Structure 1
Amino acid sequence: MKPLHALTVPALGMTLLCLPLGAGAQETDPDTGLVKAEGWETVRDNCVACHSANLVTQNSGSRNHWEKLIRWMQDTQGLWEFQAETEETILDYLAEYYGPKEGARRPALPRTLMPDNPYPTVADPG
């Protein structure tokens, strides 16, 4: 049996790192980066019409989180109201493919667990 060359093992490791993750790997749209799955075109057509798809692909959250973002955009950014079926499709897709990530930043601490602010929050008029 021929011994492995010292450069073969690292090269093999780098090759494995570049391979898709098998059956769990998701195909993405080359233009937006969105996962190509049921509902992705609805998200593309409604969300990317106003902002970069990066705002979707770089974020994550529960269905409730995404719904709150939609409401915020409707209340403050001029986002139109969706038909119920369109909104359901968008929320289903976002919750499934851009849901909470394990190992992501932890949620904010409740105010009751935080220390008091040592800085004045109102300027002293004196």
Structure 2
Amino acid sequence: MTPLQTLATASLGLALMTLPLAGMAQEAPESDPETGLVMAEGWETVRSNCTACHSASLVTQNSGTRNHWEYLIRWMQETQGLWEFQEETEATILDYLAEYYGPKEDTRRPALPRTLMPDNPYPTVADSG
């Protein structure tokens, strides 16, 4: 490579490094100062339906798949008196929760292998047989 080609390649590389990367530097959505909920599509529906019975912190401190959130809604409907949602309202709530409070891969350590666990001091079903 000639010195001129080396200089051109270096200049092009430097120029490319200064360009903004489309889609790479997205701003995090703003959170509602009152509830802590992410202010994105569907947040007001979640706020009005979920905080009617409990604090928004029960939402913001938890996470799960869409199926997990749906399970929790069904549990609240069956045991806590939560009303049945219109189909569109429930879909909005589930879409929002799955998107902004979905599974968190890096927040828990992996489970310890059984060999590193202490003995269980309590009787188990196997002990009662």
Q: TM-score, normalised by structure 2?
A: 0.66
One-letter identity of the residue aligned with 1:87: E
CA, structure 1 residues 98+107, in 2 after alignment: closer, same or farther (shift >3 Å)? Answer: farther
Q: Which runs of 5+ in 1 are unaligned?
A: 1-21, 110-115
1:40 correspondence with 2:43: yes
1:87 correspondence with 2:90: yes
- Number of the residue aligned with 1:4: none
Structure 1 segments (4+ residues) deviating >6 Å: 106-109
1:62 correspondence with 2:65: yes
Please report how far the alpha carbon of residue 50 of structure 1 lies from its aligned counterpart in structure 2 after TM superposition: 0.5
CA, structure 1 residues 48+68, in 2 after alignment: closer, same or farther (shift >3 Å)? Answer: same
Written as runs of structure 1 = structure 2, the 5 A alignment for 1:5-24 is 23-24=26-27
Number of equivalenced pairs? 97
Percent of pairs identical after alignment? 82
2:30 pairs, out of 4, 16, 27, with: 27
* CA RMSD after TM alignment: 2.6
Please report how far the alpha carbon of residue 93 of structure 1 lies from its aligned counterpart in structure 2 after TM superposition: 0.2
Q: 1:42 & 1:76 partners in 2: Cα distance? A: 22
Q: 1:106 & 1:42 partners in 2: Cα distance? A: 33
- Number of the residue aligned with 2:123: 120
Q: Which runs of 5+ in 2 are unaligned?
A: 1-24, 113-118
Please report how far the alpha carbon of residue 104 of structure 1 lies from its aligned counterpart in structure 2 after TM superposition: 2.3
